[in-house]
Structures are given as C-alpha cells and as structure tokens.
Amino acid sequence: MTTRPEVNLAMASATGALRVDRDRLWLSLMELARIGATPKGGVRRLALTDLDRQGRDLVVGWLRDAGATIEIDGAGNIFATRVGRDGAAATVLTGSHIDTQPSGGKFDGNYGVLAGLEVLRTLNDGGIVTQHPVAVAIWTNEEGSRFVPVMGGSGAFTGVYTLEHVREQRDVDGIAFGDALDAIGYAGKAPVGGRALDAYFEAHIEQGPILEREEKIIGVVTGALGLRWYDCVWTGQDAHAGPTPMEARRDALRGASRMVEAINVIALRHAPDGRGTVGVMQVSPSSRNVIPGRVRMTVDMRHPDDGRLAAMDRELREVAEVIARELKLDCDLQQVDHVPASRFDPKCIDAVRTATRALGLPHREMVSGAGHDAIYLARITPTSMIFVPCKDGISHNEIEDARPEHLEAGANVLLHAMLARAIGARSSTDTGMKHD
C-alpha cells in the first residue's frame, strides 16, 4: 500500500486533538438500554427477539444518520461503513453485539457498538477523511443465551461455523435461529464473511475487577485466555443418611466437593493467569437424608498459554482419578469444548497502547478472560481490544455499571487506534498523537 506523506501530515494535525463526545455516547447507551429494560436497571434483550429487532432498528438508524452505508449478511451481522478516500482499501472495523444475557446489563456489548458509532460521529464532526473505510459491526447472538453456540454471528463470519449450522440451532422453545432471524427481518443478502479487513478493534467493559482494583482506566488487551470446558459425573451409591456408617459410604458429593477444591489448587498453581471454576453442580437424588449417589458438575479452566492449559488439563484428570479411587467412586470426566488461547496482533496492540499513552490514560496490559467476537475476528484479521473498568468487576448482571468518563476514555482510545490504521499511516509517529 502507498500513502502520500503530505496528506498524512495534514490529517495528523487535524486528528490529534480529536475527542469523542462523552454525553452523546452516554445518552445513546441509556436510550438503547430502554429497549428490554428491567426493573432493577438491567436489560433483557435476547438475540433475535422482537426487542433485539427494536434495538437493531434504533442503532441502524443512528448509523445511517451518521452517513454510514448499511449491509446485513445472512447471519444477521450488520456492517455500517463510512467510506474512505481509497475505494479499494481494506476496512478498519470495530464492533460488538447488542444482544444481552437474560439478566444482563446496559454495557456488555452495547458499549462496543455505540463506541463505534461515536467514532463515526466524531470523524464526521472533525470532517476527517480517512484513507481506509471505517466500519462498525453488530454481531448476532454473541451471548449464546438463547441459541448456542455463543458468538455465533462472528463465528459464521470468520468460518468457525457454517451459516447452515448456525441457522439450524434451536432455542428451548424449539424455534430455529434461522426462523427467528427471518422473523425479525434481519436475514440480509450480503455474503457471510469474505470482507477485505485491514484490522479489527473492539472496546468492551472488562467484566473483571482488575482495572478498578489497580485504578487503571484502559486495559490494553494482548490476547484471550484459552478455555477448556468439561462435564463431570460422579457416581457412588444412594444410601440412607442415618443407618449407613461413614466408612461404608460411596458419597458422590464428597467426590465433587473435593474436585472443587482441587480445581482451585490447580488454578493457583498456574497463577496469576490460571482460572478454574465449577459453576454448575446438580446433586441427586437431592434429599436431605439420602447420601447422594450421583453428582453432575461442570468445570471451566482457562489460561493464556496453551501449554499451561494442557498441563492444567492433565492435572485435572489425575486428581479426578485419585479422588475417585480414594472415595470408591466412578468419575466420568469429558471435555466438551476447547478454545485455544488467542494472541492479538502486535501492531494492533501497539496502536491501542500508543493511543492510550498519547491520551495520558493510566493503563495496563491484560488478557481477556471472557469470550468476545474479537477472538474469532483475530483468526482472519489483525485484532486487538480495549477494556474499560466496570463497577466491582460485575457483568452478566442487572447491576452491571460503568462510569461515563471511563467509557469516554475507551472510545477515545478506539478512535485513535482506528485512525492510526485508517488514516493511511502505519507508524504511530504519523498519527499526530505524540503531540498530545
């Protein structure tokens, strides 16, 4: 790609002082949060429901008003593109999702989309003409609360799943993803995937407590934890809690309970980035005076290093065997999902880091513990993410909260990281940010 130095320098002076509008961003977030608002201040806007349609209609209208061209692909993913000077140049993309958890908050996903909208609005305000097109994506069904798989829209876009696979998934009422998508009028004509992308950035609340605890405003996200999910079933023997001596028992709940502690030990052995969680435990027969003969539990283990995650997997299997032998139980441990660790693109990470420094924002580098559309995008284009703090690290909850000035800061970093790619320069010294 060729750039014209004289244009870059002129543009740099025009963009260096560019800032998003905090109030406009906040008001857009609050207006979108009215669609599916819950009494406790959260949002319930499940993928491909009529509420999702209302949310899409609102945001698409805003994006159109910002001068963007709207395209919708066969998975319902929406692309709002602001043209650049070079009609052949690859797009600098940002985005996230506007579907929520059943008891979700106002910021998870929504912030990434509306920060992208705010970037377009700010470029308009500044009269900025970029070399590359700049676009905002709204990915379908990131949460996976109504339809599995999670991140289905970006998964289809990046070739992780076929469109057919995604369309045929059914919700608990038996309604197919494809039928629900058709019903809300968002099954578009654009092909799924195949777009020429220059880079992808995604702004998101952290969904963890690290930034808040360390009083940082920006997380420069260098990658995402690898993840292994397991289903584990412990089988012993139901027996009456009174007449059965302790040494004669085969108590499945004791196996499961020891496993919970062992998983904690494994995660700590791989500190500081190892994670181990048991989120589900179902005890049967679940009677106050019956020794449980069967316990089903889930295991979630994560680590940013695939080798360490593989070691955690081995340790988990070993400890399951030891516990089963000691307690005379059967343990059926099955891995049901495995997502390798992601390492984001060094140049995209650098674009985020440089913008953050230029803006003078307290920051740290971090890996994403949660899944995001960016993790799939990273498979096909240079990618990075920008995290901002959320209150008490809480998300997937109606009390999810974030501060306007932090959301503003993240959107400014997004703006300048995208500009660093879009303006036609490839070096941070060309963006004008060094003067800030």
Which parts of this chain interact with a copy of itself (CB under 8 A)?
Answer: 206-210, 213, 225, 227, 229, 237-246, 248, 251, 253-254, 256-258, 260-261, 264, 267-268, 271-272, 274-283, 286-292, 298, 300, 302, 368-371, 392-397
Strands 78-82 and 69-72: antiparallel
Q: What is the DSSP letter of 260?
A: H
Residue 23 or 214 having the CB closest to a copy of itself: 214
The strand pairing partners of 72, in sequence order, are 78
Angle at 124 between CA 121 and CA 126, to 5 degrees: 115
* Two tokens, residue 19: 């800032």
- Rounded least distance, CB 281 to a copy of itself, Å: 5
Return the SS3 of 136: strand
- Rounded least distance, CB 293 to a copy of itself, Å: 9
Residue 392 or 436 having the CB closest to a copy of itself: 392
Residue 66 or 390 having the CB closest to a copy of itself: 390
Residue 266 or 423 having the CB closest to a copy of itself: 266
- The phi, psi pair for 31, rounded to 5°, reads -70, -45
Are 193 and 159 a contacting pair, CB within 8 Å? yes
CA distance 347 to 428: 10
Maximum separation of any 2 CA atoms in the chain, in Å: 89
| Half-sphere exposure in the Cβ direction for 275 (13 Å, CA) | 21
b/e sequence 73-94, b meaning 16+ C-beta within 10 Å:
bbbbbbbbbbbbbeeebbbbbb
Residue 174 or 243 having the CB closest to a copy of itself: 243
The gap between the terminal CA atoms of the chain, to the nearest Å, is 28
- Rounded least distance, CB 99 to a copy of itself, Å: 16
Residue 278 or 352 having the CB closest to a copy of itself: 278
- How remote is the C-alpha of 204 from its chain's centroid? 7
- Rounded least distance, CB 206 to a copy of itself, Å: 6
Alpha helix (H) residue ranges in 44-147 = 50-65, 110-126
Closest C-alpha among 296, 283, 281, 289 to residue 239: 289
Residue 110 or 395 having the CB closest to a copy of itself: 395
Alpha helix (H) residue ranges in 78-209 = 110-126, 152-157, 163-168, 177-183
- Rounded least distance, CB 85 to a copy of itself, Å: 39
- Rounded least distance, CB 222 to a copy of itself, Å: 14
CA distance 324 to 288: 23
Residue 73 or 251 having the CB closest to a copy of itself: 251
* Two tokens, residue 60: 């698409």
Residue 52 or 143 having the CB closest to a copy of itself: 143
- Rounded least distance, CB 410 to a copy of itself, Å: 15
- The phi, psi pair for 60, rounded to 5°, reads -60, -40
- Rounded least distance, CB 278 to a copy of itself, Å: 6
- Rounded least distance, CB 324 to a copy of itself, Å: 16
